[in-house]
Structure 1
Amino acid sequence: MAATVRERPVAPPPPSPTASPPPAPPESRISRALEAGAELSVVLLTATAAISLLRLFTDGSFLDRVLLAALAAHALAWAARRMRLGLGGATLLSAVGLLLFVAWAVEPHTLSAGLPLAKTWHTMSTDLRNAVDRFNTVVPPTPVTRGFVLASVLATWVCAFLADTAAFRLAATFEAVIPSFTMFLFGSVLAYNRNRLALSALYLASVLLFVLFLSVARRAETDNWLAGRRAPGSRALLGKGLAVGAIAVLVAVVAGPDLPGAGSAPVFNWRAKDNGPSSRTTISPLVDIRSRLVDQSDNELFTVQSSSPAYWRITALDKFDGRIWSSVGTYKPAGGSLPTGVRSRAPANTVTQRYAITGLSSIWLPAAFRPTHLDGIKNVRYDPESSSLLTDADTSNGLTYRVESALAQLTPQELGTAPPVLPQSIIDRYLSLPEDFPSSVAHLAIQVTQGATTPYAKAIALQNYLRTNYRYDLNVPPGHGNDALQRFLFVTKRGYCEQFAGSYAAMARAVNLPSRVAVGFTPGEQAADGTYRVLNRHAHAWPEVYLSGYGWVAFEPTPGRGAPEDQSYTGVVPMPSEGVSPPPAVATPETPTTTGAGAGPSPSQRTATTNPVRAKPTHGTSAWLKALLLLAVLVVIAGGAVVVTTGRRRRAFNRRRSGATGADARTLVAWEEAEEALTLAGYPRRRAETPAEYARRVPGPAAISPGPMGSLAEATAAAAYSAAGIGADGVAAATDAADQVRDQLAARATRTERLRWAMGFKTVRPPESAARIHAVETLVPPK
């Protein structure tokens, strides 16, 4: 009998340390491709949210820096994950990158030898404060300013970092969408009628693409695919998902606006704030005019036939909080003779005006100061304190009415006799300044009026100082708060009526002159028939000073402007005719006007218009205390969320244990607890793995003892597949092994990781490279 001798198989030599790693298997390549797709889609998500900010501005000059900020923020977040930095390290890296990006991309003019030093940080702080002040006073679309660009860059960067953290560190898909959605919603709320459909479709498409790529990438990592089917399966999911997403976006864009009720009034109109049946909320018409000045400066607002030219006045602003001028007033129904607020002993000429409002788009009604009689119109209210008229209608467009006004005939000799004695009501309301009012501005006002011996002399001194030492210039940053005052008075010495009127009124109060800012329009263009045609570019602001015995007296500190009836006491030549005038005063005091209910009439007789942003009181809670209170509220809310979430998970944990009645069920529950803890720690079981294979693989990467996992896997196999099941001792051993796994994971975790696990947030760890996996499987083959 012949014997066949077989050669003993030769074991493959171990891989050389210097040998190049084998090529990655197709499964690893598709996983990396899906991960890259998910990372690119989250970048696209942030970018589309940033693009939606286009609705807030008149042009897209800010967009390049905002999109570059989104790319840089995501790149740093990606690098932090690749360097295996923790959340704290990634946050620090991103914060440093943000500061450098802002310095180099937004504030490059402040760098010293290419480095951001003290000047850069000071300019950033100033620009942000200016942006906050400006935000409170403008209506989109607004011109792009450096402060708005800075704020947009900061918001985009933070959104990008939060989205990356939620998507790739916490494996929280829904939470990753929230930051960009918040920014998109911000733009939609403030500019809801501009490019709404196109930008909404773009953002919706980016959200669906991100959710699709991230979901498929996670499924490819964990799901049980047959050999060689992971790549085709993932491609099939992507293809079908893209098709469904495209159909969803198309249906939303095409059919959404035509659905029943899409164009109806909202059930709850959150935009229409209302303080009750006798209250009314509005934005100053000058805020609206400011936006029209940018795009439509030649649009007609109203026409007026008048027996004499005058400044067509809207209202007066009497409260200054260091950021904006605003006002509060009590409005009563008006018609016929109008009540007199502050009387003047000076003789007056009666000027009759007939108005036709065409495009003012406001509830305010212009009239020369001081209106005494109104007819030809119904449903109008009047505040005698500010001499302001407003209509009960939604807009004044299309209204016509007749007004008689008493224009005081004032002389320097009469005004020079006005005593410095003031009524207490005037002192309380028209001399207050904010606690943080710049002392440098007050000292300048004292210096300018040092030689003046009467209130009128002080008022003239302030007017002439501003007209002589400062230049009219539209190309300056807007604003009239404390920072803007200092910049205007001591740095640029250039501005337009907003800065001139605001500075004058604030300086007047610093030298005990009761003052306020009047807003309205210059006379406008006079036609051949004598009608004055008032356009957006005729918007104007000027100060009024209270002089005892003569009431409110207008002054004109803005160069190139002059009221027709005031030359006798201001010495300012009236503004020349439109054909030979200097560049028109198109600047608008961007001040929200607050007219609120005050003491006096019953609620049924009052109409209140309130500031869109509540003005800071002169004496009240400091900004720091408010910030601390807000922080405390946020901490309480966050703590409550943590307590509720962890409590809910603990109750679910106890219910699962108590619900397992048999020995086999309790063993399987123990396995589920151990696997859940490992998954939260970032070491999930692959769907292709059996419990025994998982128990052999995971202790090394997770840095736990292999014994408890091995015994738990054996008990799980017996409970799941053995006909005899498992005994009571086996149940106790399995439960103890699961507790050991959880305790070992918790012992090596940081406090932050334990908190995240308690709330159910997973730790996402980068997958091992294909070469390392191949080497491990070659050197340590499975038993």
Structure 2
Amino acid sequence: MNRPRPVREVSGWPLSLTEFAVVLVNIAVVFGLRRLFDSWDYFGPTAISLGAAHLLAWLMRRARLSMLVSVVTSMVIMVFFIANARYGSTTAALIPTADTWRALGDHMSLAWDEFAVVKAPAPALEGFVVALMVVMWVVATISDMAAFRVRTVLEALLPATTIFVFTALLGVDDGRVLTTAGFLAAAGLFLLASRIAFPLSAAVPVGRASSSQPLVQLRAGVAIVAAALLLGVVAGPLLPGVGGEPVIDWKNLDGSGGSRVTLSPLVDARGRLVQQSDVELFRVKTDLETGAYWRTTSLDSYENGVWGSKYTYTSAQGTLSKPDSSQGVIIQADITITNLGDIWLPTPYEAVSVSGIDASWDDESSSLVTASGRTTPGTQYSVRAIIPTYTPASLRAASGFIPDDIRIRYTALPTDVSSRVTGLARELTADLSTNFDRALALQQFFQDNFTYSIDVNPGHDNDRLETFVFDERVGYCEQFAGTYAVMARSIGLPTRVAVGFTPGERVGDEFIVRGTYYHAWPEVWIDGSWVSFEPTPGRGSPQAVAWTDVQPAQAGGFETAPDDEEVNEGGQLALPSTTLDVDDNLLDLNQDETADGAATGDGGGVPSWLVPLLSIVAVVLMLCLGWWFGLPALVALRRRRRHGAAADSRARVFEIWRDVTNEYSSHGRMIKPHETRREFIDRLRVDAWVPSVKLDALATSTDDSQYGAAEPTDSEIESLRELGDEIISTLYDRGDAGDKIRRRLNPRSLMS
């Protein structure tokens, strides 16, 4: 008859190596996630969350808490950990508040919306980071439980492997070989260490009988894993067909034929304005003295409070579009990228031709996209563009006819859009007969009644929409352009949101464009042309004055640089007697913000992540100390209360016996319901933990007190108490330090 194999206790270096290997596998997954993002901003929070989860799992394993208790405890601590690490300013005494959940909900909602449209490499939005912290915490908990409690190798690797495969399917190719090799090496080490620590059967000798077989197995196994990994990494890329077309194109299963789905630039508009104010992004050399709005793209869809786009890009060389030259003048612009890291290329609107760069073009949005995936310092290209010269008379005389394809696409709004906002739009334009006059009326509503400021809450979803329009009336370009577009669409005007930059600062025959000039504005379709309007107070396009009646304006004005300023070779504008370090000012345009709005990665003072991290460490330390000292104190208090509540001397003796049996229970020796005291003592003799004479004396005295005619005296009870304390002390001192810690922290002692 086959009997189940008993679980063998494991300790020493095989167990430690296995524990290290599990963490290494999951860390390899976190490194691999870099293929999904355009920066390392996600890495620190995700790795810290993973490490905290593994440490907690290790502590609970050492305390021998049950799997159910461990999982529940881990999930509760995860909530407190992430809430304070990412939303520390919204918690009260480290406890999540309604503001915490509201901020989390906003970030997760935005991340969910963008997950459906964003394409790697994506910016590390706060919602993505928080989601990864949760995912990796759960992965760490499951993998530790599978590896060391259930002792199943495949199940321990399954969570990490799932995330790794997900990353491989959606991530960019950069770092593919390195991250794959790292994950396979870590997984191989875990498989090897796990088999040494938890062998399925007696180990087959692989060396001399006198050798330490685990060490020999380790050396042989590492050699095999290293050889297999080397063969795969070196020989794999050399196999025939590696560079060919995939049998199944995972990244084009929708049959879009090369469409590029992109993240809305408005998602981090406020972050760009706050963080990049002094950073030079690009330069434009042109004979257009006033400069222009340097446009990057336009957004055509509005869902869940987010403006986004989906366009199909084709190769951009030579002629791009053929706008009506009778409505504008052709200009030349030579553009040099200095610190702009984006997929879109800034151009005057509307680009006619481009040269000097490998790019893609979308005619629908008039957008140029760099073929390399991101602009880099030193990129240069030339654009010919037509600058419109509309007049109010020509726009009023335009036909009001709107083709179905334009109307359906550019007037679409969600069914739950604010009725108060759309009702106001109809009220403001009720008496106007032309599309131009209606568009102009909406613009003037914002120009006359609102104030520009970036010191406000971001977004333009339904709640923010109403608060912005009817209460605050203070905001920045994202809110003005987005709200204008919603109101214009609600009255039947085809509208989209354009994104780009105001002209910038003129130095000689160049315009220096910095982060502070980042901007968004609406464009309204009027008789076949996309006409720009300017609802943002304090902003105005030099080319649109004729029909918007808004004077040229931008952050800092249009003053040209003083004559004594020079342009250094590094591409930065140098003030008199001042040299700006490009590296010191270089920031990633997609750098995210912390929950309280403070910019991260400022490079000075205390890092923004350090304070919440130290708070978490302090909370965990307090919890550990509270458990270490509080649990024994509660047990002692409960014991005193039991003894104090004893009704008579017989009950007092029984409580002494109960104290001893409770201590034995913590060592895994419980008295069975059908056992007499004498039978229980006889069973304990086998362990020889306590001299038999003491156990016999305790059992005899307890039986006599319960069944004898005379009640025990106070002196007899005191002697028996001393005997019970001696037995408990002997039991407490047995075992190693880990065993003592486990018994001290075991919450079951409160239930005895």
Q: Residue 496 of structure 2 aligns with which residue?
A: 516
d(CA) in 1 for partners of 2:122, 2:472: 22
For 1:682, the equivalent position in structure 2 comes to none
- Specify which of 176, 185, 197 is matched with residue 217 of structure 1: 197
1:544 aligns with one of 523, 532, 539 = 523
What's 1:504 paired with? 484
Name the residue aligned to 1:318: 300
Query: Does 1:282 find its partner at 2:260?
Result: yes
C-alpha separation between the residues in 2 aligned to 1:53 and 1:466?
Answer: 43
Partner of 1:350: 328
Note if contact 1:307-1:353 (Cα within 8 Å) is conserved in structure 2.
no
CA contact (8 A) 1:540 1:588 kept: no
Match 2:142 to one of 137, 153, 162: 162
Query: Which string of whole-angstrom CA distances, capped at 9 and with x for unpartnered residues, describes residues 368-388 of structure 1?
Result: 5567x7699999999876566
| Native 8 Å contact 1:463 1:504 kept in 2 | yes
- SS class of match (1:352): strand
Determine the structure 2 residue equivalent to 1:73: 53
Once residues 142 and 106 of structure 2 are traced to their aligned partners in structure 1, the CA distance between those partners, rounded to angstroms, is 26
Query: Across the two proteins, how many residue pairs are aligned to each other?
Result: 551
Q: Secondary structure at the match of 1:115?
A: coil
> Which ranges of structure 1 fall in alignment gaps of 5 or more residues?
1-26, 591-768, 772-783
Identify the residue that residue 635 of structure 1 maps to in structure 2: none
The amino acid of 2:195's aligned partner reads: S
Shift of residue 335 of structure 1?
8.4
* Distance 1:589-1:498 versus aligned 2 partners, 3 A rule: farther
Indicate which of 113, 122, 147 corresponds to 2:102. 122
| Alpha-carbon separation, structure 2, partners of 1:514 and 1:446 | 15
Question: Hey, what's the Cα distance between the residues in 2 that align with 1:333 and 1:242?
Answer: 51
Task: Kindly state the Cα deviation for residue 282 of structure 1 after the two structures are TM-superposed.
Answer: 2.7
Cα deviation 1:432-481 (Å, max 9, x = unaligned): 2012334465466567768988755553454345455343439976x666
Unaligned runs of 5+ in 2: 1-6, 563-572, 574-584, 592-737, 741-752
Indicate how the Cα distance of structure 1 residues 388 and 86 shifts in structure 2: closer, same or farther if over 3 A, else same. Answer: same
Structure 1 residue 558, shift from structure 2 partner: 3.3
Contact 2:495 2:524 in 1 (8 A): yes
CA contact (8 A) 1:498 1:589 kept: no
Letter in 1 for 2:137: W
Sequence identity percentage: 31
Over 3 Å counting, the alpha-carbon distance change for 1:424 and 1:42 in structure 2 is closer
Which of the residues 525, 545, 553 maps onto 1:567?
545
C-alpha separation in 1, matches of 2:451 and 2:476: 10
Query: 1:194-593 alignment to 2 at 5 Å?
Result: 202-219=182-199, 223=203, 232-245=212-225, 255=234, 264=243, 270=249, 273=252, 279-283=257-261, 298=280, 300=282, 304=286, 306=288, 309-313=291-295, 316-322=298-304, 323-326=306-309, 350-356=328-334, 368-369=348-349, 402-403=384-385, 405=386, 407-411=388-392, 426-439=406-419, 441-442=421-422, 445=425, 456=436, 458-466=438-446, 469-473=450-454, 496-523=476-503, 526=506, 528=508, 530=509, 540-547=519-526, 551-575=529-553, 576-577=557-558, 579=560
Q: Quick one: structure 1 residues 422 and 272, their matched pair in 2 at CA, closer, same or farther if it must change by over 3 Å?
A: closer
Q: What is the RMSD of the two structures over their aligned residues, measured on CA atoms?
A: 5.7
Distance 1:149 1:406, change over 3 A: closer
Offset at residue 563 of structure 1 (A)? 1.3
Q: 1:37 aligns with which of 12, 17, 22?
A: 17
Shift of 1:588: 8.5
CA deviations on 1:624-672 (whole Å, 9 max, x unpaired) are: xxxxxxxxxxxxxxxxxxxxxxxxxxxxxxxxxxxxxxxxxxxxxxxxx
What displacement does 1:65 show?
A: 3.7
Cα 1:198–1:444 change in 2 (3 A) is farther
With 150-159 and 95-104 compared, the bigger mean Cα shift is at 95-104
Paired position in structure 1 for 2:581: none
Q: Is the 8 A contact 2:49 2:136 kept in 1?
A: yes
Q: State the alpha-carbon separation in 2 of the partners of residues 242 and 587 from structure 1.
A: 41
Structure 2 equivalent of residue 653 of structure 1: none
Q: CA deviation at 1:223?
A: 4.4
- Say if 1:523 and 1:185 are closer, same or farther in 2 by CA, change over 3 A: farther
Measured in 2, the distance between the counterparts of 1:148 and 1:112 equals 24
Mapped partners of 2:350, 2:497: distance in 1: 15
Residues 134-190 of structure 1: per-residue CA shift (max 9 Å, x gap)? 455666666654323311211211221332344345543234223223434555666
Provide the rounded CA distance (Å) in 2 between the counterparts of 1:270 and 1:301: 39
Residue aligning to 1:111? 91
1:568 aligned partner, one-letter code: A
- Any idea what the Cα deviations from partners look like across 1:593-618, whole Å, max 9, x if unmatched? xxxxxxxxxxxxxxxxxxxxxxxxxx
Is contact 1:77–1:90 with CA below 8 Å preserved after alignment? yes
Look up the equivalent residue of 2:15 and give its one-letter code.
E
Shift in Å at residue 29 of structure 1?
A: 7.4
Instruction: Normalising by structure 1, report the TM-score.
Output: 0.55
Aligned pairs (5 A) from 1:759-774: none
Evaluate the alpha carbon distance shift between residue 519 and residue 167 of structure 1 in structure 2; reply closer, same or farther with a 3 A threshold: same
Shift in Å at residue 99 of structure 1? Answer: 2.6
Alignment of 1:727-766 (within 5 A): none
Q: Deviations for 1:86-117, whole angstroms, at most 9, x for unmatched residues?
A: 76665544433333332233223332443234
**d(CA) in 2 for partners of 1:335, 1:326:** 25
Q: State how far apart, in whole Å, the 2-side matches of 1:38 and 1:438 are.
A: 57
SS in 1 for 2:524: strand
Q: Are the structure 2 counterparts of residues 421 and 350 from structure 1 closer, same or farther at C-alpha, using a change threshold of 3 Å?
A: closer
Query: 1:73-112 maps to which residues of 2 (within 5 A)?
Result: 73-77=53-57, 91-112=71-92
Aligned partners of 1:251, 1:493: CA distance in 2, in Å? 64
Q: Distance in 1 between matches of 2:87 and 2:354?
A: 55
Aligned-partner Cα distance in 1 for 2:268–2:223: 45
How far apart in 1 are the matches of 2:543 and 2:356?
27
Deviations 1:483-506 (CA, angstroms, capped at 9, x unpaired)? 775787689977654443223212
The verdict on how the C-alpha distance between 1:70 and 1:415 changes in structure 2, with shifts beyond 3 A counting, is same
Taking the TM superposition and a 5 Å limit, the aligned residue runs for 1:135-146 are 135=115, 144-146=124-126
Q: Distance in 2 between matches of 1:495 and 1:230?
A: 78
**Which residues in structure 2 correspond to 1:624-703 (within 5 Å)?**
none
Q: 1:419–1:169: structure 2 CA closer, same or farther, 3 Å change rule?
A: same
For residues 53-72 of structure 1, what are the structure 2 equivalents within 5 Å? 53=33, 63-72=43-52
Q: Which amino acid aligns with 1:573?
A: Q
- Measured against aligned partners, the alpha-carbon deviations of 1:397-451 in whole angstroms (never above 9, x if no partner) come to 8765645x3623323x776788988665554333220123344654665677689
How far did 1:392 drift? 11
